[in-house]
Structure 1
Amino acid sequence: MIMISKLTKSYGVNEIFNNVSFSIPDGRHIGLIGVNGSGKTTLLNILSGNEYFEKGEIAGIKNKTIGYLPQIPILPEELTVYQYMLLSFEKLLNLKEEMESEKDSIKQHLLNEQFEHLGGNLIESRVGKVCYFLNISEELKKQKISSISGGEKSRILLAHILLSEPDIILLDEPTNHLDIEGIIFLENFLKSYKGTFIVVSHDRQFLNNCVNYIYYIENKAIKIYKGNYDKFETEYEHERQRLIKMHKQQTEYIKETEEFIRKHIAGQNTKQAQSRIKRLEKLRHIKLPKKHSAPAFKWNETFRSGNKVLHIENLSFSYGSRKILSNINFNVYAGQKIAVIGKNGAGKTTILKLINGELTPSSGNIIKGSNINIGYYRQDFHFIENEKTLLEIFLNDTEHFTIGEARSKLALAGFFADDIEKKWSDLSGGEKAKYMILKLTVEKPNLLLLDEPSNHLDIQSVKYLINMLNIFSGTIIFTSHDRSLIKNVATDVIFIKDGNLETFDVSGIDTAFNEIITPIQKRKPVSGKKPDRKRQVRIIKASIREIENEIDEIEKRISEIDRKFADPRNNSDYNKLNNLVREKKQLENKIKILYNKYESKIEELSLYES
């Protein structure tokens, strides 16, 4: 168990935690939540040893292994992705090296048994499985870390952590750079994880599916709630209503008591009045729960576009020799709110950049309708100068606002007083995201292109964003991995797969999700007809899932046998031990065969998907 006692942390005059004490029992699965700027990332940095704190003590963490995924990962740039993956198995690889250099055949045999017992022969298969679900391709594995994007670095560090299986996993917005399939894989991994993890996430459904405790940061303190996010929200609202009721009753009591004192302090009931004065002095005042100010963005009125907003005709696009989009056709009409989904690298952001004119099609046309004014929200904010203040950036972006008007607008996004003098580099990811949304509202767009707009926002801000997008009178095309946002905003869904598009109306969103995350049941091809490529991919994926399920069951049984070996009650039962040894050997042989099958299926899949 980790014990945090009287923790105090500040940034200059801004106090984040004040004398906070709480515990983290072993094996607890924690969702860490709070409004943007409340200290979620700060706490993860403190627990990982990457940030100091002024006062307090953290006990029980010193000898634990920690895997930390920050929002901006720093990795060894000189290594290839695959070399970095293998660092997850450093002890096993050292053991393999020792085994290979050992001259004594008996010692070598013993080292080999130890290597196999610790899962050394499964290294390649484990790496293959995690890389498959986190969309780390064979080509990416060969690249140097110095040459890859920030999103790819996040996925690679996440894969390294999952393969390392540390005592404690700390994840800061892990779903930001994952596709839906990757999110489901991570959910399932965390649900069955035997160690402790703490995750910061804006994705409500993700938290509901994998945490069993919520640690809520509010008023420089931490309050603990048992259950997932939905349960927390219900309990928190009940608490808030109860405090409001108690505060009202106390206010009425104080008013009546003060009236009694005023009437009787100089009369016959002076003693009673004085007694009530003492009671009021000792009274512990109930504070109203703090109501967090949600952003108050308002869409500025804009002109209507024509009915046909976009006509996309025979559009193809390639990065070098890699084809991203192949001869796609679709129309966008006024008022549609289209979610673009698909695996990482499928071309979701590419479509937005093509529509915005930042990329030129390899072939085909994008024809814009009449009176189109585009507002574009990007995934990253690196194009803004870090040393400029928020006020300077806003005045530069908008030009026609006075300083007073700019202050009023920034206040709508929750930036008051000293906030507007903060440098861009000092803002949290959530604060940057809120600014970029505010900027959109003053640009008066009637076509919004939004690339992962919920990334970096806290859950309350995501709820506000959903309402805001629902009342927008124009047209929206957005990418998102946030299932709740898609279900609550989209009228239509575009699913990109293998360079092609499938379209669904709002009622087909779950079907689109299932295309990504659920294997289609294997069917025999119709006699005399060659099975099509898409169908073959689905069949192979179904086989992969079946193999994985079988491997999971065998690994559980091997763990069970190992526990029986460790039970001293079985030491004298030689028949039982011999049977267990025999069964384990059979299972280990079977799992080797399954992993070989798994690798060949992954290879087969890569041929169909390339």
Structure 2
Amino acid sequence: MILLQVQKAGRHFGADTLFKNIDLDIQDHSRIALVGKNGAGKSTLLKMIIDEEAPDEGQIVRKKGLTVGYLAQNTGLESTKTIYAEMLSVFSELRQMEKRLHQLEDQIASQAENHETPAYQQLLKQYDQLLHDFKEQNGYGYEAEIRSVLHGFNFLPEDFERPIASLSGGQKTRLALAKLLLEKRDLLILDEPTNHLDIETLTWLEGYIQTYTGALLIVSHDRYFLDKIVNEVYEISRGKAHYYKGNYSDYIVEKEKRQELAWKNYEKQQVEIHKLEDFVNKNLVRASTTKRAQSKRKQLEKIDRLERPEGDEKSMHFRFKAAEESGNVVLKVNDAAIGYDDQIIAAPIDFEIRKRQVIALVGPNGVGKSTLLKSILHKQPFLKGSATFGTNVHPGYYDQEQHNLHDKKTVLAEIWDEHPTTPEKDIRSLLGSFLFSGDDVKKTIHSLSGGEKARLLLTKLSMQHDNFLVLDEPTNHLDIDSKEVLEQAIKDFDGTVLLVSHDRYFINKVATSVIEIAKTGSTVYLGDYDYYVAKKEEQAELALAKEKQTAPQTETKNVSSGKTSYAQSKERQKEERRLRRNVATLEQQVTDLDAKKEDLETQMALPENFNDLEKMATLQKELEETTTALEEAEIAWEESSLALEEFLTD
């Protein structure tokens, strides 16, 4: 069923067109990514869809009664309530039902002696119906669901009574997303939902959102997230929308195929056109060939000419080039402890980086990854241990907080002041390669967007020609095209890289090794992000198996600890994701089979089929098979839903 349609929508700013003739269909259970460069109009289109803005042309058609949830970029939840009270407010109607059930129970108990009266029987009937509705709406599991979602977003039980007003901006954003997930709207629209989420939380969110019963429309620069979640992609490019079936990686492959085919068809037609034009020009004036030339000219006029395929929109293009080579050992970190005010947050940290390696630091938010980079660069002291650079190592630093920029300077001055002997035309040419052209170079830095500041920092870094790049969240604020350019620059770099990033797709593309930072220290994994994940799962399974072998036959609980082991916690999350995926798969099967059954019944009612005994026999057999399959799928779905509910309430 169609939930929402964007029909020929357009947005204009005076004589300029942001986009036009945009068509987009959202159906039940859609999983759609909206992609395009920064400034292409993605957020504008989302605001039209949620009815915050009206299109200048075209229209947005919505199903009657459609409920929509929307998470804007960097939007936090504002409330005077505590965390848990705010989440409970989502289930206010359910809690009213619960209250009414208790009232009816009291009335039934007080009138038990009159159990044969019509009033008593009516009371029982009312109670049974209300209890059925309460169970259907997860009345016995909603508090477990709240705890599960809050835990997934890294809110611990001791946080539940914290006032929301006391939270950080990132925590409020996570809480806003948590509330939206609990509300279960028909259509959930997320604009950059992965901002402020660490890798562990992203992994949990992917598992949870795959079982979301409503439709999803997502704008995100997190390609790994899109690959896991979506099965349709709409790209906004050059003011137009293009539709692709599949996830993000499928979209990239299909886009390239379409571009190749478009060029092939265009060039083939151009050859044909030139041949016809040449014939007409040479033969139109000759008496003997005039008629043929006129015929060819008519043929030319009838050709539906293909437009010249448009190449990719303008992207950054740059490279990192080291001025001189370092020694083989670039960095050694020995028995280090990091933290603030004598409070250790991670230790012991030990690793070695060698020339031309690309090392990614990963770990949960707050474990000190950025602090470690600052300590390595002597911007902040280690609480213990040391970091030693190798021979001829020249580090260059990308600061995610963008402190290396001067707010009052112009873009041009920011670069030229550090390289005063470089001619202005060369500075402007370099800035042009980072998409600062024309009057853009006259902008003051405080007026730049996050993406523009990120590109300016990369400009500065590329001019320093260091041989050891230390990058703290370099993909923040960059659109997907810019990330891909940065990936290529790192892969082509003749030096060494140490980086912190939450972008798993980016890590997979560039990292030769992953170092995990935890409170208990550092662990080195000799592969990309997918290798790291596989090894972590393997370690968790081994730890769980070992725990089962050493555990006593009678289960005992460690009351003093009260904490589940890491392995058990990961195993539980894995089982929850499996159960949720199973529910979603079966629910989709039920939906598909129900639609197929309805279609068969429609076909059997058609006059042309009704009188065709052979066709009716085939349709009847198919209908019986579909009905049986539907009944089995419904039973399996109910059983899997119950299993998930029991798991969450356990």
| TM value normalised by structure 2 | 0.76
Q: Equivalent of 1:410, from 427, 431, 437?
A: 431
Instruction: Look up the match of 1:503.
Output: 524
C-alpha contact (below 8 Å) 1:295/1:414 kept by paired residues: yes
Instruction: Look up the match of 1:91.
Output: 93
Instruction: Look up the match of 1:177.
Output: 196
State the AA in 2 paired with 1:75: L
Q: Equivalent of 1:27, from 26, 29, 32?
A: 29
* Structure 2: runs of 5 or more not aligned: 109-122, 591-635
CA RMSD of aligned residues (A): 4.1
Instruction: Look up the match of 1:356.
Output: 377
Query: What is the deviation of 1:357?
Result: 3.6
In 2, distance between residues paired with 1:126 and 1:141? 14
CA-to-partner distance for each residue in 1:562-595, whole Å, 9 max, x for gaps? xxxxxxxxxxxxxxxxxxxxx9999999988754
1:198 aligns with 2:178: no
In 2, distance between residues paired with 1:349 and 1:6? 46
- In structure 2, the CA distance between the partners of 1:404 and 1:586, relative to structure 1 (3 Å rule), is closer
Q: Equivalent of 1:449, from 451, 462, 470?
A: 470
Q: Could you say what secondary structure the match of 2:428 adopts?
A: helix
1:164 aligns with 2:193: no
Instruction: Look up the match of 1:573.
Output: none
Kindly report which structure 2 residues correspond to 1:60-139, keeping only aligned pairs within 5 A, or say none.
60=62, 63-76=65-78, 78-96=80-98, 105=107, 114-139=133-158
Q: Could you say what secondary structure the match of 1:23 adopts?
A: strand
C-alpha contact (below 8 Å) 1:31/1:198 kept by paired residues: yes
Larger Rg: 2
Please identify, of 236-245 and 518-527, the stretch whose mean Cα deviation from structure 2 is larger.
518-527
Query: What is the deviation of 1:385?
Result: 7.2
Kindly report which structure 2 residues correspond to 1:170-249, keeping only aligned pairs within 5 A, or say none.
170-249=189-268
CA-to-partner distance for each residue in 1:458-496, whole Å, 9 max, x for gaps? 444333322211111222111233333323322222112
Q: Could you say what secondary structure the match of 1:484 adopts?
A: helix
C-alpha contact (below 8 Å) 1:34/1:217 kept by paired residues: yes
In 1, distance between residues paired with 2:301 and 2:442? 41
C-alpha contact (below 8 Å) 1:36/1:431 kept by paired residues: no
State the AA in 2 paired with 1:229: Y
In percent, how many aligned pairs have the same letter? 32
Query: What is the deviation of 1:497?
Result: 2.5
Q: Could you say what secondary structure the match of 2:335 adopts?
A: strand
State the AA in 2 paired with 1:71: Q
Q: Could you say what secondary structure the match of 1:312 adopts?
A: strand
- In structure 2, the CA distance between the partners of 1:383 and 1:444, relative to structure 1 (3 Å rule), is closer
Query: What is the deviation of 1:299?
Result: 2.0
State the AA in 2 paired with 1:289: P
In 2, distance between residues paired with 1:49 and 1:423? 34
Q: Could you say what secondary structure the match of 2:323 adopts?
A: coil
In 1, distance between residues paired with 2:26 and 2:638? 38
* Structure 1: runs of 5 or more not aligned: 562-582, 598-610
Work out the number of aligned pairs and report it: 574
Q: Equivalent of 2:545, from 522, 527, 551?
A: 522
Instruction: Look up the match of 1:54.
Output: 56
Please identify, of 421-430 and 48-57, the stretch whose mean Cα deviation from structure 2 is larger.
421-430
State the AA in 1 paired with 2:181: L
Query: What is the deviation of 1:144?
Result: 4.2
Instruction: Look up the match of 1:537.
Output: 566
In 2, distance between residues paired with 1:588 and 1:206? 25
CA-to-partner distance for each residue in 1:257-286, whole Å, 9 max, x for gaps? 332232233331345445544554554432
Query: What is the deviation of 1:183?
Result: 2.6
Kindly report which structure 2 residues correspond to 1:423-462, keeping only aligned pairs within 5 A, or say none.
429-462=450-483
| TM value normalised by structure 1 | 0.80
In 2, distance between residues paired with 1:505 and 1:492? 5
- In structure 2, the CA distance between the partners of 1:507 and 1:96, relative to structure 1 (3 Å rule), is closer
State the AA in 1 paired with 2:26: I
- In structure 2, the CA distance between the partners of 1:557 and 1:225, relative to structure 1 (3 Å rule), is closer
State the AA in 2 paired with 1:10: H
Q: Could you say what secondary structure the match of 1:42 adopts?
A: helix
State the AA in 2 paired with 1:366: A
- In structure 2, the CA distance between the partners of 1:144 and 1:397, relative to structure 1 (3 Å rule), is farther
C-alpha contact (below 8 Å) 2:208/2:577 kept by paired residues: no
In 1, distance between residues paired with 2:12 and 2:570? 50
Instruction: Look up the match of 2:599.
Output: none
Q: Could you say what secondary structure the match of 2:141 adopts?
A: helix
In 2, distance between residues paired with 1:377 and 1:93? 50
- In structure 2, the CA distance between the partners of 1:328 and 1:299, relative to structure 1 (3 Å rule), is closer
Query: What is the deviation of 1:71?
Result: 2.5
- In structure 2, the CA distance between the partners of 1:319 and 1:158, relative to structure 1 (3 Å rule), is farther
- In structure 2, the CA distance between the partners of 1:505 and 1:560, relative to structure 1 (3 Å rule), is closer
